[in-house]
Amino acid sequence: MISNSSKYAVKAVLYLALNSSESHKILAKDISSPTNIPKAYLAKVLQELSRHNIVSSVKGPGGGFYLSEDNKKIPIMKIIHVIDGDNRLTSCMLSLQECDEENPCPMHDLVGNTKVNFVKNLEQNTVEDLVEDIREGKSFLPL
């Protein structure tokens, strides 16, 4: 569905959204521990996210990672897109060139519009939206 790296990315971004601010930056290693993501690997993922302006970072003493207000408005889809590329989620289950209603493969109807809905949800929901759910106790960020 989505790669391990994308899972790491989403978890890290949500952790930052919940626990950091521009005035309270967090070190890579301090995200690694509570989220159970290998430190060095997470650093790479954060690097990539930072390069694409999905998370904010500052080097040096007092530095670290955080989410700007703009960062929090980013749709979850963009995180996955940056890490996994753009056709991992939308591609056909049986590797047809295009996955659409006009030329469905035999498995297309088994997935139904579910895949399309999922992608739509990923595009419409921002980091902020998911954080709100967590704050309201509707969902839980796994450790």
Q: Shortest Cβ distance from residue 47 to its own copies (Å)?
A: 21
Hey, which residues between 53 and 72 contact DNA (CB under 7 A)?
Answer: 57-65
Residue 64, φ and ψ in degrees, nearest 5: 145, -160
> DSSP 3-state helix, strand, coil percentages of the chain (rounded to 5)?
50, 10, 40
- Asked if 119 touches ligand FES (CB under 6 A), the answer is no
C-alpha–C-alpha distance, residues 46 and 44, integer Å: 5
Are 67 and 16 in contact by the 8 Å Cβ rule? The answer is yes
Using the rule CB under 8 A, is 142 a contact of its own copies?
A: yes
- Look up residue 131 and give its two tokens: 């954080």
The residue among 66 and 99 lying less far from DNA, judged by its C-beta, is 66
Selected from 107, 113, 121, 135, the binder of ligand FES by CB under 6 A is 107
* 3-class secondary-structure state, position 123: helix
Residue 26 β-bridge partners = 65
Interaction of residue 87 with its own copies, rule CB under 8 A = no
Instruction: Choose from DNA, ligand FES, its own copies, none: what does 16 bind? Cβ within 5-8 Å by kind.
Output: none
According to the binding rule CB under 8 A, does residue 49 interact with its own copies? no
Strand ranges, E, within 6-133: 56-58, 64-66
Q: Nearest approach, Cβ of 117 to its own copies (angstroms)?
A: 6
The residues binding DNA (CB under 7 A) are 3-5, 8, 25-29, 38-41, 43-44, 46-47, 50-51, 57-65
